[in-house]
A and B are shown apart, each in its own frame.
Chain A
């Protein structure tokens, strides 16, 4: 026992150092085989992480300062180039959207041409909606140079009546809307196809509607009845859809019946219309 004490007194420090070295070595090498960090390594890393993070932040900040001082011009140039590229891309996108819309309209027009081969169309854009309180008219982007004449019928892409050309100039034409107080159109009503007349009415015009009148005794008009042009008189081709009966009423005297008609064409949203320059008149 005394020999062990003497030995420890004499070699204890050396033995301790050996034990510590062996422990550290074990700590670093253990679990290396399965990829996990050893206890000592883990502890050492935990201590150094804040220092590493701090130094990384410092380096990043210094790089930022350096970049701002020495790379500012190149970054600004790059930013400018990216802006130009973005603007070009947006421009191309707008062109693509325009082309898509035009494609859609041309498809509708093609469909319309196939349905009515006798019609000679001229497409035109609505460029102005005058602010008059006393009439509803539109100004078209095409006029006499395109063969448009006074009295030509105007329809939308779904074959609904929009109005009639009342004035023609070079590069423009005025269209009186189907709801205008001065508008007169021969119409066919109901299943029997009885003749009646669309006659514009001032108060209905302001509500975006028009009036069906001159109904004969045998004509029965019901709500939701669809009205088409009669084609009589030769101003309008037969079969264009005018509108739908929204209500039926009697004039103040109580003798004459009339109907309120909502136009089939969405007049407020129209941007492009088709002028029928010529068609086969059906007697």
Chain B
């Protein structure tokens, strides 16, 4: 009786995306933390949030972004709750964009990811410019390099997430 009230398909998808979240955190913490190009590490979490929003809709993207943002904040030790706030917005907006403006092809995904990475970097650098009064050039350089190094991971995340969601673009 109780089982009838549970949407098994949704539970299955939730478990799958929980696994995706763990994988993203694992790669971010164990692999990318050891790879720095010009002293800057890539940040792949926003790309994963965009992917979930893209293929599962804004609600799923927002919830996925909320949890991934929380774990990312815990791990990165930057400004408190910054990513917990930014990632759900990215997830929800990317889902809404697919509904309203863009298709689910790779190039659309790529440009939405670019926008998400720029938004994340701008939010991360905001306190250094507005509050700490840091030198603008190194802050901008770090934000730019972080965005640039993260972009290649759109390839690595787009295709597995599309397959997981079962989206068939040939129709």
Contacts and interface: CB of A to CB of B under 8 A. Distances in A.
A131 B134 contact: no
B28 A133 contact: no
Interface residues of B, number: 26
Interface in A188-225: 201-203, 206
B77 A174 contact: yes
A176 B78 CA distance: 10
Classify the interface of chain B: helix, strand, loop or mixed.
helix
B134 A134 contact: no
Interface string A114-140: 000000000000001111111101000
A206 B128 CA distance: 13
Contacts of A167: 77
Contact of A129 (B33, B125, B138): B33
A181 interface: yes
A211 to B, nearest CB: 11
A202 B138 contact: yes
Which of A130, A134, A176 counts the most B-chain CB atoms under 10 A from its CB? Answer: A134
Interface in A160-190: 166-167, 174, 176, 181-182
Interface residues of A, number: 19
B166 interface: no
B40 A133 contact: yes
Interface string B12-46: 00000000000000001100110010011101000
Contacts of A202: 128, 132, 134-135, 138-139, 142
B125 A134 contact: yes
A202 to B, nearest CB: 4
A135 B128 CA distance: 11
Nearest to B142: A133
Contact of A203 (B78, B134, B145): B134
A181 B134 contact: yes
B28 A206 contact: no
B18 to A, nearest CB: 22
A174 B73 CA distance: 12
A135 B76 contact: yes
Contacts of B76: 130-132, 134-135
What 8 pairs across the A-B complex have the smallest Cβ distances?
A131-B33, A203-B138, A202-B134, A132-B76, A137-B77, A131-B41, A134-B78, A130-B76
Given A131-B29, A133-B124, 16 more contacts: A131-B32, A131-B76, A133-B39, A133-B145, A134-B128, A134-B142, A135-B77, A137-B77, A166-B77, A176-B77, A181-B132, A182-B132, A201-B134, A202-B128, A202-B134, A206-B39
